[in-house]
Amino acid sequence: MIEMEDRTTTHPEPREPEDPPTRTRQFQLVDGAEIVGAAVSAAALTWLLFSAVAWNGAFGAVLIWYVAFIVIYRSIAQAVHGHLVATDRVMTVVLATGASLAFIPLVMIIIFVVTKGLKYLNIAFFTDTLESVGPQDKGGGAFHSIVGTLEQVGLAAAVAIPLAIMTAIYLNEVKGPMARGVRFVIDSMSGLPSIVAGLFVYSFWVVELGKGFSGFAGSMALIVLFIPTVTRASEEMLRIVPDSLREASLALGAPQWKTVLRVVLPNAKSGLISAAILGTARAIGETAPMVLTVLGSSALNWNVFDKNQDDLPLFILKLIRSPNDAQIARAWTGALVLVMLVLVLFTLARVLGRDRRKADR
Amino acid sequence: MNVDLTDLRTELSRDPGGPTADLIAAEMADAHAATSARPASALVADSVSAWFGSRKVLERVSLAMRPNEVTALIGPSGCGKSTFLRILNRMHELVPSASLSGTVTLDGVDIYGPQLRVTETRLKIGMVFQKPNPFPTMSIEENVLSGLKLSGSKSTIDKRQLVESSLRRAGLWEEVKTRLNALGGALSGGQQQRLCIARALAVSPDVLLMDEPCSALDPMSTRIIEETMRELVQQVTIVIVTHNMQQAARVSDQCAFFLVEKMEEPGRVVEAGATAQLFGSPRDQRTADYIQGRFG
């Protein structure tokens, strides 16, 4: 009886006679071996199941293997380390699996785009257009699309970012009587499907007013999509500026506009820059509204306000659907350039967002 | 009056031979040169009551804060001391639900009246907060000068000189004179608080309000700030909120004891008067109890 009770309350035997300092989350070689062992036995079990029942299919096998692995690993850990450690280990493994699963598609996309896109990544891609370039010709590039993307997104950003930051200031600093209404509109706008923004500009500007397709029409659709994202992000950035700084400024006899201009905005600067650039990065990839507003083109058109233009998403969309390997390869290069453009923007956000003066110079 | 002050200061007996004594003497000389013995202002509150929404937090407080004196507001937490202090430079109204009644006059001019804009009031009545709040994006020098920029007031004095004299008056000059371009946030907590004092002084206010300025600081920084206050009071009127009885006894000339008698009741001034009298022979039993640490 006494022995029984002893066994149930005894902790796992220490491997050494003296008290080893242990941590619940300490990870040793033995723990690695446990994982490997569990994985191998789960694989064996899966193989047994599949040959016995004559199942097949890789996905099912992986799924069954993973479930078996978790169950086996849990019982091993339970036997060796006890309940608490076992739960901790299993949760760690499950979370690590989740994180890697989320990471895999990202890495695959990058690898895919880079390997497929490298073929046509040369100087000509940045200087030539698709005009009078036969599908099998050498050269031919996306110069006209890059110009279009930069013009359309640049124009949209130039209009939308100041508007969005001013709206955020109104919402968080002025807190005017319309703040509730404005916030409601911004929130609903951020859920607007991008194709609807394109449809709106198409029916109103392109058709109703008879202005026709143009880069500017695309910019307008982008502005509609741009404002809510940047406003919400900017508002968050203004909200984290401590109130004590606003009070300090007001207590020095500053009017509110100067408090915003000289204290709040400088303190939120890095966050606001990030918000603006991340918004821009999203807008660069918009395709659906551009089909309806910019239309696309094979030729260079510098004028963003007149006639149809091209941009990188439209370039990709058009070429990837063509029945020609060279054109499809060009589409991948377009995708690569688009990804690089976004990468440049993200890097810019990091560099500009960093405070130039460190706390201790 | 002057005799009183000197007496009190001798009574407080800060060691006269200490290493800082010479420094302080030098700073005093400088400070005097900078402000040329401007007479300080009187701040008078007359039956001030305050509300947050429908909750009354302050009931008919009348208090005269005399020129060239430090007035300490003491009392337990939540008794309305800070609210009262914030009414004195119109920071109270920044809380959306806040309202008040009664009058506050600065040298006879109603600070809530049409004669003074709210920004002018705050320029004349500076404030130092409980938590040091230097502007993190500005250098030490820019922090000191920020009041001029933010209020748009034009200074006739040379900027360089103003920075030096303000930092000297706040007792910070010697520690930062070689790194005026460093960010304000790089200083220690006590230094940051003195930077905030320098910032408040640079716009040459008539009154300086201090809301528990030392509660987040170590004893050494507290001592320096208290010494600074005793120097400053030669030129500005000082009102300080403090939870520290010893501090009130050390630095103040006048003292007002705030108290909420029952839960949900507004705070009132139980007793006000000369610090020596209030601490030596309080007229009210509740004051005596509080000072001796029997509650609060």
| pTM as predicted | 0.78
Q: Is the pLDDT of residue B22 over 60?
A: no
What is residue B159's predicted lDDT score, i.e. its pLDDT? 87
Residues of B in contact with A254 (CB under 8 A): 119, 150-151
Query: Is B278 in contact with B287 (CB distance < 8 Å)?
Result: yes
- For residues B206 and B42, give the distance between their C-alpha atoms in angstroms, rounded to a whole number: 9
Burial A142-157 (b: 16+ CB within 10 A, else e): bbbbbbbbebbbebbb
Higher pLDDT residue, B155 or A303? A303
Q: Given a cut of 70, is residue B177 above it in pLDDT?
A: yes
Cα separation of A135 and A128, whole Å?
14
Minimum CA–CA partner of B198 in chain A: A252
Dmax (CA) of chain B: 55
Strand-pairing partners, residue B55, are B52
The residue written with tokens 């404005």 in the block is A182
Cα of B227 to nearest chain A Cα, Å: 23
Q: B179: which chain A residues are within 8 Å (Cβ-Cβ)?
A: 361
What pLDDT digit, counting tens, does each position of B183-197 carry? 988 898 889 999 999
- On chain A, the residues whose CB falls within 8 A of the CB of B90 are none
Tell me if B183 and A263 make a contact (CB, 8 A cut-off): no
- Tokens representing B281 are 């022979």
Which residues in chain B have Cβ-Cβ distances shorter than 8 Å to A249? 135, 146, 150
Edge-to-edge strand order for the sheet containing B98-106?
B55-65, B43-52, B98-106, B109-110
Per-residue pLDDT, A14: 54
CA-to-CA dists, residue A200 to A193, A203, A204, A217, A290, angstroms: 11, 5, 6, 10, 12
| Residues A273/A352, Cβ–Cβ less than 8 Å | yes
- Contact, A360 vs A334, CB < 8 A? no
Neighbouring residues of A157: CB distance < 8 A, sequence distance ≥ 6: A226, A276, A279, A280, A283
CB contact under 8 A, A248 and B129: yes
> Token pair of A90, please?
């299993």
Q: Which of B94, B146, B149 sits opposite A250 (nearest CB)?
A: B94
What would the two tokens of residue B264 be? 């949900």
Taking 50 as the threshold, does the pLDDT of residue B119 lie above it? Answer: yes
Q: What is the pLDDT of residue B25?
A: 46
Residue B133 has pLDDT above 90, yes or no: yes
A–B CB contacts, 8 A cutoff, strictly below: 87
Chain B nearest-CA residue for A263: B135
In 3-state terms chain B splits into helix, strand, coil percentages (rounded to 5) of: 40, 25, 35
CB A14 within 8 A of CB A20: yes
Residue A356 binned pLDDT confidence (cut-offs 50, 70, 90): low
Which pLDDT score is estimated for A224? Answer: 94
Identify the band that residue A26 occupies on the pLDDT scale cut at 50, 70 and 90: low
Share of chain A above pLDDT 90, in %: 61
Q: By the 8 A CB rule, do B28 and B237 touch?
A: no
Q: How far is A246 from chain B (nearest CA, A)?
A: 10
H-type helices in chain A, by residue range?
A: 2-9, 29-53, 58-81, 83-117, 123-127, 143-169, 179-189, 194-201, 215-239, 243-251, 256-258, 265-284, 288-293, 312-320, 325-353
- Interface list for A 318-357 with B (CB within 8 A): 355, 357
Report which of residues A159 and B33 the model is more confident about: A159
Torsion of CA B134, B139, B144, B150, to 10 degrees: -80
Residue of B nearest to A361 (CA): B182
Nearest to B228 by CA among B110, B128, B139, B133: B128
β partners of residue B128: B210
Query: Which residue on chain A is closest to B94 by alpha carbon?
Result: A247
pLDDT for res A184: 94
Contact yes or no for A50/A61 (Cβ under 8 A): yes
Q: Which chain B positions have a beta carbon within 8 Å of A359's beta carbon?
A: 183, 185-186
Read off the pLDDT of each residue in A55-76 and give the average, rounded to a whole number.
Answer: 88
Which pLDDT does position B36 carry in this prediction?
43
Residue that has been written with the tokens 């001019």 in this structure: B109
Q: Does residue B215 sit in helix, strand or coil? A: coil
- Which pLDDT belongs to residue B155? 66
Q: Where is mean pLDDT largest: A135-144, B8-17, B78-87?
A: B78-87
Contact A86, A35 (CB under 8 A): no
Q: Looking at the partner chain, which of B122, B137, B183 has a beta carbon nearest the beta carbon of A252?
A: B122
Residues of B with CB below 8 A from A361's CB? 179, 181-183, 186
Residue B113 has a CB neighbour count (10 Å cut-off) of: 11
In angstroms, rounded to a whole number, what is the distance separating the alpha carbons of residues B118 and B121? Answer: 5
- Grade residue B10 by pLDDT with cuts at 50, 70 and 90: very low
Query: Using 50, 70 and 90 to split pLDDT, how confident is the model at A18?
Result: confident
Q: Count the alpha carbons within 13 Å of A255 in the hemisphere toward its beta carbon.
A: 5
Q: Which residues of B touch A256 (CB under 8 A)?
A: none
CB contacts of A263 in chain B (<8 Å) are 135, 150
Residue of B nearest to A249 (CA): B150
Token match 């607007």: residue?
A192
Q: Chain A residue with minimal CA distance to B199?
A: A252
Interface of A with B in 243-262 (CB under 8 A): 244-245, 247-255, 258-259, 262
How do residues A209-239 score in pLDDT, each as one tens digit? 999 999 999 999 999 999 999 999 999 999 9
Please check whether residue B135 touches A, CB under 8 A. yes
Q: Which is nearest to B74 in space by CA: B236, B221, B280, B279?
A: B279
**β-sheet bridge partners, residue B237:** B207
Q: What is the mean pLDDT of residues A50-62?
A: 81
**What is the maximal distance between C-alpha atoms in chain A?**
94
Residue from the list A262, A267, A359 with its beta carbon closest to the beta carbon of B183: A359
- For position A71, what pLDDT does the model report? 92
For A:199-218, CB contacts with B below 8 A are none
Burial label, A214 (beta-carbon count in 10 A; 0-12, 13-18, 19+) = buried
- Does residue A1 register a pLDDT over 60? no
Local confidence band at B296 (pLDDT 50, 70, 90 cut-offs): low
pLDDT above 80 for A157: yes
The stretches of chain B forming alpha helices (DSSP H) are 2-12, 20-35, 81-87, 118-124, 140-151, 159-169, 173-176, 189-202, 219-232, 245-251, 275-280, 285-291
3-state secondary structure (DSSP) of residue A329: helix
Task: For residue B42, give the nearest of B62, B75, B61, B67 by alpha carbon.
Answer: B67
CB contact residues (below 8 A), chain A span 266-305, against chain B: 266-267, 269
- Predicted ipTM of the assembly: 0.82
Query: How do residues A81-113 score in pLDDT, each as one tens digit?
Result: 888 888 988 999 999 999 999 999 999 999 999
Q: Rounded to whole angstroms, how far apart are CA atoms A220 and A200?
A: 10
**Chain B, nearest residue to A266 by Cα:** B137
Of A32-46, A142-156, A217-231, the poorest mean pLDDT is in A32-46
> Does the beta-carbon distance from B200 to A251 stay under 8 Å?
yes
Q: Is the model's pLDDT at B63 over the cut of 90?
A: yes
Contact A251 B119 (CB under 8 A): no
Mean pLDDT score of chain B, rounded to an integer? 84
Which of B88, B95, B137 to mutate against chain A (most A CBs within 10 Å)? B137
Render the burial of B133-154: b for 16+ CB within 10 Å, e for the rest. bbbbbbbbbbbbbbbbebbeee
Instruction: Give the integer Cα–Cα distance in Å for B220 and B218.
Output: 6
Do residues B45 and B83 lie in contact, with contact meaning Cβ atoms separated by under 8 Å?
A: no
Closest residue, chain B, to A358 (C-alpha): B183
Contact between chains at A267 and B126 (C-beta distance less than 8 A):
no
pLDDT classification of A355: cutoffs 50, 70, 90: low
Average pLDDT over residues A279-284: 92
CA atoms within 13 A on the CB side of A138: 2
